[in-house]
Amino acid sequence: MDALTLNRLFRQAPLWVLASHNAGKIKEIADLVAPFSITVKGAGEMGLNEPEETEKTFSGNALLKARAAAQVSGAVALADDSGLEVAALGGELGVYSARWAGPEKDFRLAMQTVEEKLAASGSADRSARFVCVLALVHPEGAELVFEGEVRGNLVWPPRGDQGFGYDPVFVARGETRTFAQMNQSEKKALSHRADAFRKLTDAVFSA
């Protein structure tokens, strides 16, 4: 199947299922594709469970979730996997970024742990990047994958009370404020997820 036919297959689908139970993420994606007359429904609304993320790469986990949702729902499914990679820690935290926060999702503790490991490494390199991979899967088997990133540096102590996760310690390249010090529209313009979304819309809706 050529790229033009493949992209048409996705954009002509009236419904996309987002393989997530995160209401904020569902709204964000729904707003993104609304101009293209596509309806987005979350996994919870469709009665779908999220499978365990057992892959070792962002693309692997995103495809795992999208394939499961497409198979059960019979609709086009979109899933993402994202995380923080720290250069001095050999690319950790990677796909395990959320797990560093523990079962209580204590990201203050997670940020403290990252800082302690950076100090223990003895490296002066504080560069890091946020990564987001979006996987779009058609129930007939067609698949598209898009990766977005934003590079920057980690700071300490945490700054700002907006955003979530590791936002209070991440400063994007060329910026002086952390993601947690930016409002949502400012962060969205720079974020790894926005970068991946732009690539998706350019590929699927501009071809």
**Residue in 80, 81, 167, 195 annotated catalytic:** 81
Residue 81 bears catalytic tag: yes
- C-beta of residue 156 within 8 angstroms of C-beta of residue 104: no
- C-beta of residue 7 within 8 angstroms of C-beta of residue 203: yes
DSSP-derived secondary structure for 136-185: EE-TTS-EEEEEEEEEEEE-SS---SSS-TTGGGEEETT-SSBGGGS-HH
Look at the chain and count its residues: 207
Reported in sequence order, the residue ranges of the chain that DSSP labels E, i.e. its strands, are 15-18, 39-42, 76-86, 127-137, 143-154, 170-172
CA distance 113 to 92: 12
Structure tokens at 170: 């991440």
Q: Which residues are catalytic?
A: 81
